Amino acid sequence: MVWEIAEGVQKAFQLIVSGDFAVIDATFRSLYISGTATLLAVSWSIPLGILIGSGNFRGKHLVKGFFNAMLGIPTVGLGLILYLFLSRAGPLGIFHLLYTPTAIILGQAILITPIAVTFTANAVESVEPEIKDLAKTLGASETEARLAVLREALPSTFLAVIASFNRAIAELGVAFMLGGSIPGLTRVLTTSIALETTRGNFEFGIALTMILLAIVFSLSFLVNLLKRK
């Protein structure tokens, strides 16, 4: 077992150093697809999270509960539901999005929305309520005071973005169901890993996993570095 993993690590280095096209291709596609999905998800999740976190409306607990529960949605399950929408026979079939990178981007964006929303809402909620009063008494207007609260929530929100990206890049179900793992078009790291595994190419699978881990780890490392500053 250990030997196989060790071989995988060795193979990973070989593949990267030799610039293996399939590996580089899948890696960059993963980064592009999940990165864009994260940006997209962030563009609606953070405002939504702020709204939920700072708001005090009826049914707030229900909304939070909903997003909390959605954190655990199985990726294949979501992939299946979205497949039914994007399929030619589905309501969005006319856009011909199935088996395109766009489909995965959309799917992953939806997948990570609960994470981004929940983390952001929690970040905003965890800011001391006195911060708003403080900003106001120091001369901030109502909106500036709200911004001050948001700025306090910013570091945790940044974590939300990273967590979302990590979930996106590491998920398989959506990428497979909506992308179909077409080489050069929708094949990403996770679908490559799945394919190489079913093909019995374990070292190759381990190698790709190492690359995925390297991406996720270096991001976490970067975040820690930024946090310390």
Partner 1 sequence: MNKTIFTWITITIIAVTTSIAGTTYYFTITMQGRRRLVVSTTTSLYDTGLLDAVEEKFEEKNPIDLYFISVGTGLAIKHAKRGDADVVLVHAPSTEYTFLKEGYGVCRKIIAYNFFLIAGPEEDPAKIRNLNVKQALTRIIEAGRNGSIVWVSRGDDSGTHVKEKTLWASIGFNWTVLREEGWFIESGSGMGKTLLMANERNAYTLADVGTYLKYRNEGHITLEALVSEGKELINVYSVIAVNPEKVSTVNFQDAITFIQFLTSQECQTLIGEYMKDVYKQSLFNPAVEILKQENSPITTWIREYAFFNGTECPSDYRNGHPELYK
Partner 2 sequence: MNLLTLHNIEKRYGNKLALCNVNLEVKRGEILAVVGPNGAGKTTLLKIMALIEASSRGEMYYGDIKISKDKIEEFRRKFTMVFQKSVFFNTSVYENIAYGLKMRKLPKNEIKQRVQEALQLVKLEGYAKRQARKLSGGEQQRVSLARALALETELLLLDEPTANLDPKTVSIIEEAIADVNRRMKTTIVIATHNMFQAQNMTHRTALILNGKIVEIGKTKEIFTSSTRLQSFASLENVFSGNAEPRPDGTTIIDIGEGIKIQAAINTCGKVSVFVMPEDIILSKRPLISSARNVLKGTIIEISDFGSIVRLRVGVNGLSFVVQITKRSFLEMRLNLGSKVFLTFKASSVRLV
CB-wise, 50 or 135, nearer to partner 2?
135
Q: Is 9 in the site for partner 2 (CB under 8 A)?
A: no
| Site map 2..21 versus partner 1, x via CB under 8 A | --------------------
User: If contact means CB under 5 to 8 A according to the sort of partner, which of partner 1, partner 2, none does residue 99 touch?
Assistant: partner 1
CB-wise, 26 or 127, nearer to partner 2?
127
Number of shown-chain residues binding partner 1 (CB under 8 A): 38
Q: What tokens were used for 186? A: 């929708």
Among 24, 40, 73, 131, the residue binding partner 2 under the rule CB under 8 A is 131
| Nearest-approach distance from CB 2 to partner 1, in angstroms | 15
Q: Is 73 in the site for partner 2 (CB under 8 A)?
A: no
User: If contact means CB under 5 to 8 A according to the sort of partner, which of partner 2, partner 1, none does residue 120 touch?
Assistant: none
| Nearest-approach distance from CB 142 to partner 2, in angstroms | 7
Q: What is the DSSP string of the chain?
A: -HHHHHHHHHHHHHHHHTT-HHHHHHHHHHHHHHHHHHHHHHHHHHHHHHHHHH---TTHHHHHHHHHHHTT--HHHHHHHHHHHHSTTSTTGGG--TTSHHHHHHHHHHHHHHHHHHHHHHHHHTS-THHHHHHHHTT--HHHHHHHHHHHHHHHHHHHHHHHHHHHHH--HHIIIIITT-TTTT--HHHHHHHHHHTT-HHHHHHHHHHHHHHHHHHHHHHHHHHH-
CB-wise, 47 or 155, nearer to partner 2?
155
Among 16, 31, 39, 131, the residue binding partner 1 under the rule CB under 8 A is 39
Q: Is 144 in the site for partner 2 (CB under 8 A)?
A: yes
